[in-house]
Chain A
Amino acid sequence: MSNPTILCIDDEALGLQIRKAVLERAGYQVLTAVDGATGLTLFRGHAIDGVVLDYYMPEMDGGAVAEAMRRERPAIPIMLLSAYINLPADVVSLVDVTLLKGEGPHELLEKLRLMLGSAASSGADEGHASGGAA
């Protein structure tokens, strides 16, 4: 449990790889997906401690992905990353944390750490449950 697993979903393949490197450097295990559908498959098939989700994606946007995840395993914390300032309010209320792209890796890591910490304190046993209880 020393290395939490993070699922990263973003249609920007290059940005996704770089973000993965940053998170790995910070000690996380990282799974990546370039679209929502692949992301949901990984979400279902792996033990995941947190999700870093891009909002603006073709086919299925971050809001739809977050909604599906909440339906299945609501305890898993989700961070919504976006270059947009004006995110729809219902989507913002659905996720734990939002972060503006470009705020930098320190902000990303700090917010991720806080999100995982608060999730662990509220329900530590759920974090590692394989296959999910929901």
Chain B
Amino acid sequence: MKLPEFNRTLRQLVTLPIVLLVLLAGFVVWQILAATQAQRALDHSDQVTAQLQELQSQFIDQETGLRGYQLTSDPTMLEPWLGATAPIQTHFANLRGLVSDDDAQLQSVGDLEVRYSQWLGFANAVLNQDPASLNAAGMNQRGKVMMDGLRSATAAMLRHEQKLCAERSHHARWLQRRELVSLLVSALIVGIFLALFTRHHVHAVSASYLRRIAEIMQRSQELSESQQWFQTTLESIGDAVIACNNRGAVSFMNAVAERLTGWSLADAKGKPLAKVFHIINEQTREVCENPVEKVRRLKQVIGLANHTLLVARDGREYVIDDSAAPITSSGARMVGVVLVFRDVTEERRVQAALVASEKLAVAGRLAASIAHEIHNPLDSVANLHFLLEQEPDPEKRAEYLRLAQQELGRTMQISRTMLSLYREPRAPIQIDLRELIEGVLLLLDRRVQNQGIQLGTSIAGELVVEGFPAELRQVFTNLIVNAIEAAGPKGRVEIRLDRAESAELHGAGAIIEVADSGPGIAPEAAKKLFQPFFTTKGADGTGLGLWVSMGIVQKHGGAISLVESANQDLSGACIRVFLPARTLAEAGQPAA
């Protein structure tokens, strides 16, 4: 039963009995009115009867008075006569008023008045006569006849009225009986109808209520099962989850979150998030912005800042990677925030190890050519020393010394360049990119020569950027070695260094492009080019070079990408690096 239907049933249950009772009351009132009217008619008959009886008695009084005067001629005997005259007129008037609704009776009253006035005429004639002739037999006879007529007319009227009265009384009794019976019958009908109606509707409502309760129980069970299901799911996942309400009080934590924060759910429940989830910046150790506040402000999913440290209740620290998302109700109102985070301390260590190992791999790649570069002049120096020992000619000795000096200078330059690959200043410094790239090319020179690579450089004057030179040397060594390997013997490598003007997406800086004449990079490989452990060199590559290079470039606030070479003749890959003039890099920050 739906709510509108339920309301309609309730309305029916209330209004129908009221309407029926009002109808019943109306019926009763009608019955009472009818009975009252019958009673009134009865009273009316009584009044008419009383007037008639009164009139009859007055007639008798007048006749008696007249008789007395006739017998005695004593005027005092006429007192009743005189006393009755006025009341008789009044009674006639009353009677006419009372029977005005009954034509037969009205006519009888008229007839009675006529008879009375005739008798009155006779009586007046008697009174005006000589007292001596008062007892004339004829006159008395006439008077008696007239009076008898009057009396019998009155009696007839009385009888008529009494008959009416009897009829009315009978009618009134009948009405009473009818009233009683119809009241009983209608009350019974209404009662039965109401009982049946109410029973039906109450049954319907009650059945619907029971159904609804069963539904609610079912739903509540489902809800509880679903909650259990979600809880188990959240407990089983490897990431830490904390949910809190709109005010930022913790409402749920899974086991991983309990372990990382050091708070049990029982202890943390209701506590402010900032207390349980205490996060600080890894470097500055300043307290980070409360993620609940941030989500409330931005109303969207947020990833927390890099280098976030979670300080557990026992003071242990974990590097975490996390995100926070709003929990919205069906009305799109934010009802809470859910935080998902994980411990990346180990991951960070592994990454650092990979970066370090790649640095070593770059060194390894260069070691052979560096050894070669150093051993060649050293061999010459040793030979010159041998010659000097046995040379008596001062001119030749001076020449040998000069050559030895030259070869030593070359050795030192090589070793300085090599050291600069590893020695890093504490803060970013101004780097002349041309000098840096020329240094890298010096180390790779032998390799370029040996492979017969045709190396072209196009350098647009002096370009200075801020940064860490050793790391950038690592990047360009990687890119140029890759290009040499891709180009193969007698291939071509072009290095272009150009100024980049300030644009929408980046500030002013430098663009360095390294293009080769190799086979190029297949589209599917291009997608994975900057991912760790992706290599096209098989067992010879670590698959870390470009990944680490990207980390270094990004740390400098720059970008690295595979682009179409501007030079149509170079069919191979072209890697473009953008470096901003002012770096974003900070000292001591890992590259990836």
Point out residues on A near B: beta carbons under 8 Å. Answer: 11-12, 14-15, 18-19, 21-22, 25, 56-59, 61, 83-86, 100-106, 108
Contact = CB atoms under 8 A, between A and B. Distances in A.
Contact of B387 (A22, A83, A84): A22
Nearest to A21: B387
Interface in B378-402: 378-380, 382-387, 390
Interface in B473-519: none
B386 A104 contact: yes
Q: Would you list the 4 A-B pairs with minimal beta carbon distance, nearest first?
A: A83-B375, A105-B386, A83-B372, A101-B379
Contacts of A86: 368
Given A56-B450, A58-B451, A18 B375 contact: no
B407 interface: yes
A106 B374 CA distance: 19
B375 A102 contact: yes
Contacts of B371: 83-85
B194 interface: no
Contacts of B386: 22, 25, 104-106
Contacts of A101: 375-376, 378-379
Contacts of A105: 382-383, 385-387
A25 B387 contact: yes
Given A56-B446, A58-B451, A84-B368, A12 B376 contact: yes
A21 B383 contact: yes
A24 to B, nearest CB: 10
A117 B89 CA distance: 195
A15 B387 contact: no
Contacts of A59: 452
A19 B383 contact: yes
B449 to A, nearest CB: 5
Interface string B284-302: 0000000000000000000
A2 B386 CA distance: 22
Most interface-central of B371, B379, B452 (chain A CB within 10 A):
B379
Interface string B412-451: 0000000000000000000000000000000000100111
Given A102-B379, A103-B382, 14 more contacts: A11-B449, A12-B376, A15-B376, A18-B383, A19-B380, A22-B387, A25-B387, A25-B390, A57-B450, A83-B372, A101-B375, A102-B378, A104-B382, A105-B386
B403 A14 contact: yes
B380 A18 contact: yes
Contacts of B449: 11, 58
B438 to A, nearest CB: 20
Contacts of B450: 56-58, 61
Nearest to A54: B376
B68 interface: no
19 contacts: A14-B380, A15-B407, A18-B384, A18-B387, A21-B383, A56-B446, A58-B452, A59-B452, A83-B371, A83-B374, A83-B375, A83-B379, A84-B372, A100-B375, A101-B376, A104-B382, A105-B383, A105-B386, A105-B387
Interface centre among A61, A102, A104 (most CB of B within 10 A): A102
Mostly helix, strand, loop or mixed at chain A's interface?
A: loop
Nearest to B371: A83
A9 B69 CA distance: 201
A102 B387 contact: no
B382 A102 contact: yes
B377 interface: yes
B384 A83 contact: no
Interface of B: 368, 371-380, 382-387, 390, 403, 406-407, 446, 449-452
Nearest to A15: B380
A15 B375 CA distance: 11
Contacts of B382: 102-105
A102 B368 CA distance: 15
A103 B383 CA distance: 10
Contacts of B452: 58-59
A108 B386 CA distance: 11
B116 to A, nearest CB: 171
A102 B376 CA distance: 7
Nearest to B368: A84
Contact of A22 (B376, B383, B403, B406): B383
Contacts of B380: 12, 14-15, 18-19
B402 to A, nearest CB: 11
Contacts of A84: 368, 371-372
Contacts of B451: 58
Nearest to A24: B387
A104 B387 CA distance: 11
A58 B406 CA distance: 23
Contacts of B407: 14-15
B411 to A, nearest CB: 10
Contacts of B375: 83, 100-102
Contacts of A56: 372, 446, 450
Contacts of B385: 105
Nearest to B450: A58
B540 to A, nearest CB: 14
Contacts of A19: 379-380, 383
A32 to B, nearest CB: 14
Nearest to B452: A58
A11 B445 CA distance: 13
A128 B322 CA distance: 81
Most buried by B among A11, A14, A100, A103: A14
A19 B451 CA distance: 25
A56 B447 CA distance: 9
A105 to B, nearest CB: 4
A69 B168 CA distance: 164
A110 to B, nearest CB: 12
A21 B383 CA distance: 9
Nearest to A61: B450
Q: Residue among B375, B390, B446, B450 with the most chain A CB within 10 A?
A: B375
Nearest to B378: A102
B445 to A, nearest CB: 11
A18 B378 contact: no
A59 B489 CA distance: 9
Contact of A15 (B368, B374, B379): B379
Nearest to A55: B372
